[in-house]
Amino acid sequence: MAVIESGKVFVPNEAIEYAADGIVSKEIIHTQGGSVTLFSFDKGQRLSEHSAPFDAIVTVIDGEPEIIIDGMPHHPKAGEMLIMPANHPHAVNATTRFKMLLTMIRG
């Protein structure tokens, strides 16, 4: 697994590994203004429906998840992004294994 160092280039897809039957998270940045976290989901894993008080941007870096916002399914692919608006219910389903970068903006 790649080490993430400030001021150095890294490849997000190489900075986090998959875990059999699991979800792995690796926080890259955490400040009062927000956070950036890498996630990997093995096929079949999920985050149940919830909401957050802040907007969040999902950038898919490998695979293709199902992300449900307000009951509507979305299937972003690697290289695509999706904004999950604050205070709207959303869920994440790993219909295939995938990796994502989650950017949470507090404000």
| Tens-digit pLDDT profile for residues 28-81 | 999 999 999 999 999 999 999 999 999 999 999 999 999 999 999 999 999 999
Domains belonging to the chain, first-starting first, are 14-105 (2.60.120.10)
3-class SS of residue 91: strand
Q: Is the pLDDT of residue 1 over 80?
A: no
pLDDT band at 92 (very low <50, low <70, confident <90, very high): very high
Predicted local distance difference test score (pLDDT) of residue 71 = 97
Which amino acid does the sequence have at 70?
D
Average pLDDT across the chain, whole number? 95
Task: Report angle CA 34, 37, 42 to the nearest 5 degrees.
Answer: 150
Q: What are phi and psi of 93, to 5 degrees?
A: -120, 130
3-class SS of residue 47: strand
Q: What is the model's pTM?
A: 0.92
Which amino acid does the sequence have at 30?
H
